[in-house]
Structure 1
Amino acid sequence: MPQISVDYSAGLADDLDRPALGRALNALAVKHLAAAPEACKTRFRRADETVVVGGETEKQDLVLVEFHVFPGRTTEAKAGLAEAVVALLAEQVTLAPGRRLHAAAKVVEVDGSAYRKATLTG
């Protein structure tokens, strides 16, 4: 833990350096949440269809980052992480001229009593 999910618009598929962004997100989790580096896991999910009300959908992209963490972090640590993630997205996401990016981050606490994990090897 933390488990990090990144949902992004299909229009960003060729311009988003997912490995670099994943490493940077993991580093922010270590910094703001005191997470162990090896515990950070990031997955990316391409959203083929997104809709933004109030604008031309085809000219707008979304990147939504969600951190699932066990309880115990302060409100300040979680807010600091969310702010750092939005700033990171502004730096790392390349936009074509005329496009707009909607970036968001949230930190969600997971009930540890209902969470299990396993690492399997072949």
Structure 2
Amino acid sequence: MPHTTVEYSGTLTGALDKPGFGTALHEALVTIAGGRAAGCKTRFVRHDDLWIGDGSPHRAMIHVEVALLSGRDPETKRALTAAVLAALREHTAPTPQFEVQFSVDLRDLDREAYARHEEPRAVAP
């Protein structure tokens, strides 16, 4: 925990520094939201079939959805979404041929309903 999904326009594949953004994202999740570093999981999902605004081929987007266990106060959530947006912009190269829309959505996961299981790591002989 936390779980993050990064959806992005396929036209931005070369512009988005996934390792750099992932590192900055996980650091923010730990330092701002008190997440557990080993539990941070981020999925990058490329979309080649998007319709943005009026459908112009010069539009692109990167949307980040962060899911955290409930209980953080509004100030922490605002600080986290601001840090994620800043990291996203920092780790996306300029693409003057596109109008890029960046967005971040933070969602609470119900602590009482969330479940997980972690397999123990195999020990080498």
TM-score of the superposition, structure 1-length normalised?
Answer: 0.89
Residue in 1 that maps onto 2:53: 53
Higher helix share: 1
Cα distance in 1 for partners of 2:90, 2:18 equals 13
Unmatched 5+ stretches in structure 1:
none
Residue in 2 that maps onto 1:18: 18
Q: Secondary structure at the match of 2:112?
A: helix
**Within the alignment, does 1:96 sit opposite 2:83 as a pair?**
no
Residue in 1 that maps onto 2:61: 62
Deviation at 1:73, TM superposition (A): 0.5
Q: Radius of gyration: which is bigger?
A: 2
Deviation at 1:117, TM superposition (A): 1.6
Deviation at 1:55, TM superposition (A): 6.1
Q: Deviations over 1:61-81 (max 9, x none)?
A: 111111111111110100111
Q: Give 2:36's aligned amino acid.
A: A
Q: Deviations over 1:4-43 (max 9, x none)?
A: 1111111111222212211111011112101121121111
Cα distance in 2 for partners of 1:38, 1:93 equals 25
Cα distance in 2 for partners of 1:30, 1:60 equals 32
Residue in 2 that maps onto 1:38: 38
Cα distance in 1 for partners of 2:55, 2:86 equals 23
Q: Give 1:85's aligned amino acid.
A: V
Size of the aligned set, in residue pairs, is 121
Unmatched 5+ stretches in structure 2:
none
Q: Deviations over 1:66-111 (max 9, x none)?
A: 1111111110100111111112222211133221110011110011
Cα distance in 1 for partners of 2:14, 2:84 equals 21
TM-score of the superposition, structure 2-length normalised?
Answer: 0.87
Cα distance in 1 for partners of 2:55, 2:88 equals 21
